[in-house]
Structure 1
Amino acid sequence: MSTPRTVLVVGGGAAGNAVTILLRRAGIAVDLIEAKDDWNATAGSGITLQGSALRVLRELGVWEQVKESGYAFGSVGITAPDGTVLQVQDDLRTGGDDLPATVGMQRPRLQQILIDAVRASGAAVRLGTRAETLDQDGEGVCVRFSDGTQGRYDLVIAADGLGSSTRAAVGITAKPEPTGMAIWRVAAPRPAGVTRTDLAYGGPAYIAGYCPTSDTTLYAYVVEANRDRASIPPESYAEEMRRLASAYGGHWPEITAHITDPAKVNYTWFDRMLVEGSWHRGRVVLAGDAAHCCPPTLAQGAALSLEDAWVLAGMLTESGTWDDALLQAYHDRRIARVRPVVDASVQLGQWQLDGVRDADVPGLMGRTMTMLRELP
């Protein structure tokens, strides 16, 4: 058969936006639908982008904007709860020596950069729209949308996140499972002395950390055992995070003073998921968080999603035939890289939950990050 030329991308997050940009660059017609009317343009506080993510962003053509908007640094500090710096370690440049080890960014700014690139690509974008039904045959997928319209596509890429309805619609039963930890996050002004990520272990939480996201901003986070979310009213979020953060010294008192607006504080559980077997059913294929997720203990969630998009788009544009063999090859290539990251991310948290004091944390992190220096 001739090379299919029409793709539906479900979901406008990192994976969906990235695969859209890359497929459009290859001349493939792409429709992108996103369930949220605002395209997630204001969601989230901050994001840590390591070199493996920056490498893909450079391939997307947005690296210069990311560099100008974010805050680049090359080390991580380990501190005591009182703020005493115990160790400073250089980060591995997983994207290569010509890219920073790490860039912190305001998550809405990264999303807007990707949105602008999708718009510029010429993709057809429909917001506030869901795929209600997917009917497949040997040549394509007929999709009925939530607005009553329908379309036919050679391939559907499900990049609709952790709770992917597309994943469930094609009979893939994997669901995210909580790991036992939860995180409080907030954006705040950056104290002048904050020039890298610092992590404090111990105190009332498992981890208290922050990451600079621009010359003037950072995002701060506190990790604790997960609690029943129904028992924490949203209006108390600032008070709860402030209570935990107030136990930490160093730059934390200045940061904590800005934790006042509960609407700006985010509370989420850590989840784990890895779809086993193939990541496709017929002509519907998963990418990003729809296929896998892990705790942010290695800060690799966005990087893995961006890599999925890069690898999948490359395989689709290089092949004249889109079939089971190609989509299975995509899975096989990605699973060898994704599984170690998911497993290591979960293990790092589990050691803390279990109170293991002699765990080989540096060894596990070093092995995993070294692997990520290789091209996906």
Structure 2
Amino acid sequence: MGASRRVLVVGGGIGGMASAAAFGQRGMDVLLIEKRPEFTVPGVGLGQPANALRVLGELGVLPQVIAAGFQYDSMRYFDYNRELIVEHKFLLGGPGLPAVCALSRSDLHDILLDAALKVGVGIGLGTTAQQMEQEGNRVHVVFNNGSSDEFDLVVGFDGIRSTTRIFAFGEAFEPIHSGYGAWRLQAPRPPEVDAMEFYQGLGSKTGAMPLNDELMYLFHIRPEDPSEKLAREDYPRYLRERLNGYGDHIAEVRDALGPDSDIVYSPLEPAILPPPWYSGRIVLGGDAAHTFPPHLTEGAGMALEDGLVLADELSQDKPVEDMLDGYVQRRYARCAFVYTFSMQMLHSEQMVRTHQQLDEARRELKANGSARIAASDRILNLPVLPAKGALLWR
């Protein structure tokens, strides 16, 4: 696409910031706009598997990520009283690359923001695109402050309710509530929580991952009525009720919840946009193109990969449409795998409603749980920037 081309990135989250940094590192003139007036990032955690860490290495920020986070190499399945069912050692990573490094979302965002600023990315806070009109090989954009500009490409990393997606495709692919919701918060980390932990409950599932020596990230997934309005001030009460029945340190977190607890709730609205992910010179990535249940901790990882692969394609000497086709071809099957695999995990765990079903799930997980995750590991450990001539998907 060339160093002289102008790119507008819409959305200042993890994927948008990473793509902007990758574009800037390749000499492109980049403006990133974010609708929030300042970068205030909810204090929840992100597990970054090795495939995400490879992208962060390509962006030159892996040392900062490792320094800010907590490395681990296994996943453990428990029942609701933290009785171990099975442990899986990840088949991820490689020499000098851990299987997983978890850290707070705010720390990762700050690291990526610094990388973007270092390569001259312009930042427009409190800024949205009010209109996008494609005129030949350019996109004319009118912003909410009344100003306008033209770009060679508009890249939408503006989340599950993407306005960029609407400009490109209308409202045909708007998110739909799955009937499940996710509760998230940070909590003090017991020393024994030194890996990813899943706890199978009756009609719900809880998990925890270490973020650093002091903190862990706790999440809880269960059916939620889409029509019910959950008042934020009542989040501590709601979450206490939902964690009833869990023992061990989950019970300790539950009992410590109070008015000052920083709890994040969001409905699960999984979706994947069918190809192509672009229309003319408007292209999508991250949650604007695909949203997964959190079971493989790959939401941020897939957004990071999107940004890097798109930047790699845009650096090629070929027509823009061919570059955008190449981006989608390199990304769709991989993202579709994550979507399908994580949806299967979501449905299987939420079907456990009785003690008899829990006993059956315990036997099945003990026999097959590690083998399933191993299959996912082998796929996701494939690099997205292989040696020249190598295939991304076999």
Measured against the shorter chain, the TM-score band is: over 0.9
- In structure 2, the partner of 1:367 is 375
- In structure 2, the partner of 1:333 is 330
Q: Distance in 1 between matches of 2:241 and 2:115?
A: 40
- In structure 1, the partner of 2:390 is none
Aligned length: 372
Instruction: Verify: 1:70 aligned to 2:69, yes or no.
Output: yes
Q: Distance in 2 between matches of 1:194 and 1:375?
A: 29
Q: CA deviation at 1:97?
A: 4.0
Superposition pairs of residues 26-37 of structure 1, within 5 angstroms: 26-37=26-37
- In structure 2, the partner of 1:24 is 24
After superposition, give the CA deviation of every residue in 1:266-292 in whole Å (9 maximum; x if it has no partner).
111112111112111100111111111
The residue identity in structure 1 corresponding to 2:21 is I
Secondary structure, counterpart of 1:334 in structure 2: helix
CA contact (8 A) 1:167 1:286 kept: yes
After superposition, give the CA deviation of every residue in 1:125-168 in whole Å (9 maximum; x if it has no partner).
10000011111122211111011111111111111111000100
Q: Distance in 2 between matches of 1:115 and 1:261?
A: 31
Q: Distance in 2 between matches of 1:354 and 1:259?
A: 27
- In structure 2, the partner of 1:91 is 90
CA contact (8 A) 1:191 1:254 kept: no
Q: Distance in 2 between matches of 1:11 and 1:334?
A: 20
Name the stretch that deviates more: 56-65 or 225-234: 225-234
- In structure 2, the partner of 1:185 is 184
Instruction: Verify: 1:50 aligned to 2:58, yes or no.
Output: no
Note closer, same or farther for the CA distance 1:171–1:33 as it changes in structure 2 (3 Å cut).
Answer: same
Q: Distance in 2 between matches of 1:252 and 1:97?
A: 35
Secondary structure, counterpart of 2:296 in structure 1: coil
Note closer, same or farther for the CA distance 1:73–1:2 as it changes in structure 2 (3 Å cut).
Answer: closer
Superposition pairs of residues 267-306 of structure 1, within 5 angstroms: 267-306=265-304
Q: Distance in 2 between matches of 1:3 and 1:191?
A: 49
The residue identity in structure 2 corresponding to 1:119 is L
CA contact (8 A) 2:90 2:374 kept: no
Q: Distance in 2 between matches of 1:3 and 1:58?
A: 22
Q: Distance in 2 between matches of 1:7 and 1:279?
A: 17
CA contact (8 A) 1:131 1:146 kept: yes
Q: Distance in 2 between matches of 1:2 and 1:228?
A: 46
Note closer, same or farther for the CA distance 1:2–1:215 as it changes in structure 2 (3 Å cut).
Answer: closer
- In structure 2, the partner of 1:346 is 343
Note closer, same or farther for the CA distance 1:42–1:330 as it changes in structure 2 (3 Å cut).
Answer: closer
Note closer, same or farther for the CA distance 1:351–1:337 as it changes in structure 2 (3 Å cut).
Answer: same
Q: Distance in 1 between matches of 2:141 and 2:230?
A: 39
Name the stretch that deviates more: 129-138 or 42-51: 42-51
CA contact (8 A) 1:344 1:364 kept: no
Q: CA deviation at 1:367?
A: 2.1
- In structure 2, the partner of 1:126 is 124
Superposition pairs of residues 143-292 of structure 1, within 5 angstroms: 143-172=141-170, 173-203=172-202, 205-228=203-226, 230-261=228-259, 264-292=262-290
Q: Distance in 1 between matches of 2:80 and 2:151?
A: 54
Q: CA deviation at 1:63?
A: 0.9
Q: Distance in 1 between matches of 2:167 and 2:331?
A: 22
The residue identity in structure 1 corresponding to 2:304 is L
The residue identity in structure 2 corresponding to 1:232 is L
Identity %: 31
CA contact (8 A) 1:48 1:299 kept: yes
CA contact (8 A) 1:7 1:155 kept: yes
- In structure 2, the partner of 1:109 is 107
Q: Distance in 1 between matches of 2:338 and 2:216?
A: 25
After superposition, give the CA deviation of every residue in 1:184-219 in whole Å (9 maximum; x if it has no partner).
11111212222112111024x421111111111111
- Unaligned runs of 5+ residues in structure 1 are none
Q: Distance in 2 between matches of 1:237 and 1:60?
A: 37
After superposition, give the CA deviation of every residue in 1:209-256 in whole Å (9 maximum; x if it has no partner).
111111111111111112246442211111221233342222223333
TM-score, length-scaled by structure 1: 0.93
CA RMSD of aligned residues (A): 2.0
Secondary structure, counterpart of 2:32 in structure 1: strand
Q: CA deviation at 1:3?
A: 6.8
After the TM superposition, which segments of 4 or more aligned residues of structure 1 sit over 6 Å from their partners?
none
Secondary structure, counterpart of 2:265 in structure 1: strand
